[in-house]
Structure 1
């Protein structure tokens, strides 16, 4: 029987199981479905496998959704990875270089007196509004509309390594996220499906949102979704370049420039071992 060690962590309530594997070890797509199940497994929003780095990277991130599909990037997940990688001695204790499906990402670490990571700032790379890069099957990513059960949504599509549909609503707390999120996720205009944010401007340079994540469902937070919401709101002139985004699981700080920088917390919950 082969067992692997899993560490459970969360970033603003968005929880992940993280495991360090050698380049020879593999997990099948069904493994993430089993261990992420909250009733029959350990329970999490996703599984992160940490593999050896190459060409100057400290490690490589492989991310699985709860439905077994692979995801490109997670702003919360990479902070959880950073906690595990730092404990294993990867990086220099201040910075971690991680290869992801969307490219190389640098993570600046915040440590407590015991040397554990308590938060991190991630360079998430640039956002794109180019339909082919999102990807989006529409001539423009702006002013997209969708109507369900008499509710008409309006917003913009944006890519930040994965596709997002950012919708502006009066009150995210009253939005029909679980009812309409699945249909918006599978909107025909998104060939790779969509992560969907329900967003409101709630203060100066402040947003509040809920999110329906592709391949997962509603989560307490989504790092790439937070960045997507801030970028769309900034393009519309609703917020400045430094934005606080509040989600059910907590809050993040976003800095918008040539690339997007995301700051948020990370909390270690426990370690366990499971059969591979």
Structure 2
């Protein structure tokens, strides 16, 4: 098996020392030069290792002072489950209510937006077909916690009261309820989670640092005939959420 890059090996060792309590919260780590000598590597290697642990949230750099062990961040658990879509109303608002927090969001929709190639493929439509795209910033007690960009084919919703997700009689409800109101029964949701690093735009909206870990979830809803009716890219900051998937087990 090939060896890990030297900075990853150093990062693994530093992480282990922090997690087993050798260095407590608030402890100032030895300098890059001292760690480089201890591990027999160059200073650039120890810098990359420390940068990685800063991104992971285990360390924090203080200008002109050094690098310190960081207080563990509180993370909420987001459960992705088929039961989540059976509550009625907004699944996000219900999730936040269970935690005693107020779930709100800001949204901006644009109608008749031509579907890019990647979105058209996910929605089984032609590139350039008109869609409604909506960008969401989700907040818990006013604090940004999640982003989403949703796409719906106008061939399904055009001329109906739900063409704009955040306007009309069902504003603020989930995709399942909205589609049901126009006779489209959502039967399946498929999610593809992928780890990523926060872009500048995502970091600005979420109040995190560029390069912080995020989980990008590509979600697509399908109706009873297997037709995609909505697809979205959800961005979850790792520093605030851990994502768990719940699914039933069929008995023999």
Question: Which range, TM-score by smaller chain?
Answer: under 0.3
Question: By percentage of residues, which structure has more helix?
Answer: 2
- The structure with higher relative contact order (CA 8 Å, sep 6+) is 1
The structure that has the greater radius of gyration is 2
Give the alignment's TM-score, normalised by structure 2: 0.26
Question: By percentage of residues, which structure has more strand?
Answer: 1
Give the alignment's TM-score, normalised by structure 1: 0.24
